[in-house]
Amino acid sequence: MASAARDIKPNQDELSTHVSRSLSLSTSPIASFHSPPSSHGGMAHAASSTRAPKLLKPFATEDIKILLLENVNQTGRDILLKQGYQVEYLKSSLPEDELIEKIRDVHVIGIRSKTKLTERVLKEARNLIVIGCFCIGTNQVDLQYAANHGMAVFNSPFSNSRSVAELVVAEIIALARQLCDRSSEMHNGTWNKVSNKCWEVRGKTLGIVGYGHIGSQLSVLADAMGMTVIYYDVVNLMAMGTSRQVPTLEALLREADFVTLHVPELPETKNMIGPEQFSQMKRGSYLINASRGSVVDIPALIQAMREGTIAGAALDVYPNEPAGNGDYFNNELNSWGADLRSLKNLILTPHIGGSTEEAQSAIGIEVAEALVRYVNEGVTIGAVNMPEVNLRSLTMEEPNHGRVIYIHQNIPGVLRRVNEILGDHNVDKQMTDSRGDVAYLMADISDVNASNIKELYEKLESLPCMSFMPLEYRVIRQSKKQVELTVNLFNQLES
């Protein structure tokens, strides 16, 4: 049986380091325009507060069990260990049956891209409250099943933006100087000293399509190299440095010497660069795609390069990519593979844009901090399958305050009934939001004692919830073990 929950005095230095690091991750103009920290206070408020925030502990810290698979970066492991959680760390993923055995027991799981958290696996995860994907993608997780069962999912979509931007800078210069062709000629013993059609990048125009996290980073770097930067985006965005937004893709293609793509994979971006767009590009210009493989019509690119419209290209992403390393980049995978490989001044890289030590380390920090914030305070900022909800932290000067997290089905009447229950107490602050079928309520209540907590728990339990944390104690699921745990907590509090 788990031991009783209790308040743990937070380490103020540690907490503020976490908060400031979290803030520094949002570097994109997109982030500040579209994903501000909660207007109800949120991280920004916590950072500026001089009062010590109180860490809400649903269990005794040492009772939180975390399973980390697939060699999650040391940075992430360290953050979780420092919290005092029980962390089991494995270098590899697990076969499904072993995964099911292990997941039954844990509150938190950290994975990368190889572990498939399907409905079959998650059904067995009776204690699981949160999943950390220590990577960019989340399609290895059944997000809807997780949301419907009160399990938040976090990932790290932007920690590798700088790495991608730097790769593109390298490619701009390498294409302009035909660097990769010269290098492979030398590897084959050929000395071929040429300057014909080799250029400096200073004074040339870079056209960035998609001015988000990566596009805007790249803009700054290209500006510093003396390039003229123009960009096209479906959203009006503030220009970095001396760059300039252009109104249409065509305007960008007609003006740019280098065109680089940084848009998401969407129906509208599929084959965004095809025969028509190649015909609009300047003769002798270059194309770089480190976004998603579906964005470029590859046979049209092959044609444009053979005709000399395009003087070179760099591809990091492909319509079909192999699942693992090996000699799989062949015609079976993509029918045009051999034609593509035969082209001159074409840089092909195996989706390594974001693959750096720095990016892995940043991913470890970002995801682990999101997990800690969720476990300790119920904050869902950055969750991919739940509404993003946050409130100003409770402080140590508020001893009889508590936080209710109530995850429920987004159906008419539930919130009214929850508020009728909470209404017996002084609700200091409250925020609720919904995403599809799932709604998330966070409420801070003052002047509550242990018997109030028990009463609230019992009343809330009778509502159609997916999961909730009454005050500082979290009932994860209505499993027998959890109910026993909760009852035990209340007994101890009352004695």
Ligand X SMILES: NC(=O)c1ccc[n+]([C@@H]2O[C@H](COP(=O)([O-])OP(=O)(O)OC[C@H]3O[C@@H](n4cnc5c(N)ncnc54)[C@H](O)[C@@H]3O)[C@@H](O)[C@H]2O)c1
Catalytic residues: 292, 321, 351
What distance, in Å, lies between the first and last C-alpha atoms of the chain? 18
Nearer to ligand X, 5 or 135 (CB): 135
Query: Among all residues, whose Cβ is closest to ligand X?
Result: 212
Q: In 3-state terms, the chain is what percent helix, strand and coil (to 5)? A: 35, 20, 45
235 binds ligand X (CB under 6 A): yes
Check if the beta carbon of residue 5 is closer than 8 Å to that of residue 59.
yes
Rounded distance between C-alpha atoms, residue 369 and residue 409, angstroms: 27
288 binds ligand X (CB under 6 A): no
Question: Among 268, 332, 357, 397, which residue interacts with ligand X (rule: CB under 6 A)?
Answer: 268
Check if the beta carbon of residue 218 is closer than 8 Å to that of residue 272.
no
Residue that has been written with the tokens 């001159």 in this structure: 344
Rounded distance between C-alpha atoms, residue 117 and residue 125, angstroms: 10
Rounded distance between C-alpha atoms, residue 484 and residue 477, angstroms: 11
Rounded distance between C-alpha atoms, residue 153 and residue 151, angstroms: 7
Q: Mark 126-137 as b/e (b = at least 16 C-beta within 10 Å).
A: bbbbbbbbbbbe
Question: Among 59, 158, 258, 440, which residue interacts with ligand X (rule: CB under 6 A)?
Answer: 158
351 binds ligand X (CB under 6 A): yes
Burial of 421: CB neighbours in 10 Å, binned 0-12, 13-18, 19+: middle
Minimum CB–partner distance for residue 39 and ligand X (Å): 21
Question: Among 126, 182, 213, 425, which residue interacts with ligand X (rule: CB under 6 A)?
Answer: 213
Classify residue 402 as left (phi > 0), alpha (psi -120 to 50) or beta. Answer: beta
> Torsions phi, psi of 181, nearest 5?
-65, -45
Return the structure tokens found at 256. 């740019």
Question: Which residues between 21 and 40 bind ligand X (CB under 6 A)?
Answer: 28, 30
Minimum CB–partner distance for residue 249 and ligand X (Å): 7
Nearer to ligand X, 59 or 154 (CB): 154
234 binds ligand X (CB under 6 A): yes
> Can you give 75-127 as a three-state secondary structure string?
HHHHHHHHCCCEEEECCCCCCHHHHHHHHCCCCEEEECCCCCECHHHHHCCCC
Q: Name the segment binding ligand X (CB under 6 A); options: 231-239, 364-372, 458-466, 480-488.
A: 231-239
Rounded distance between C-alpha atoms, residue 172 and residue 129, angstroms: 45
209 binds ligand X (CB under 6 A): yes
Nearer to ligand X, 28 or 309 (CB): 28
214 binds ligand X (CB under 6 A): yes
Rounded distance between C-alpha atoms, residue 489 and residue 473, angstroms: 8
Nearer to ligand X, 210 or 382 (CB): 210
Q: Name the segment binding ligand X (CB under 6 A); options: 83-91, 290-298, 387-395, 479-487.
A: 290-298
Minimum CB–partner distance for residue 250 and ligand X (Å): 12
424 binds ligand X (CB under 6 A): no
307 binds ligand X (CB under 6 A): no
Nearer to ligand X, 216 or 486 (CB): 216
112 binds ligand X (CB under 6 A): no
232 binds ligand X (CB under 6 A): yes
Taken in order 211, 217, 222, 228, is the CA torsion positive or negative? positive
Q: Where are the beta strands (DSSP E) in 361-464?
A: 402-409, 426-435, 438-446
Minimum CB–partner distance for residue 404 and ligand X (Å): 33
270 binds ligand X (CB under 6 A): no
Return the structure tokens found at 470. 């009454």
Question: Among 151, 164, 201, 389, which residue interacts with ligand X (rule: CB under 6 A)?
Answer: 164
211 binds ligand X (CB under 6 A): yes
Minimum CB–partner distance for residue 287 and ligand X (Å): 15
Q: Name the segment binding ligand X (CB under 6 A); options: 171-179, 185-193, 230-238, 413-421.
A: 230-238
Question: Among 205, 291, 380, 467, which residue interacts with ligand X (rule: CB under 6 A)?
Answer: 291
Nearer to ligand X, 318 or 374 (CB): 318
486 binds ligand X (CB under 6 A): no
Minimum CB–partner distance for residue 372 and ligand X (Å): 24
- What residue ranges bind ligand X (CB under 6 A)? 28, 30, 136, 158, 160-161, 164, 209-215, 232-235, 262-266, 268-269, 290-292, 316-317, 351, 353-354
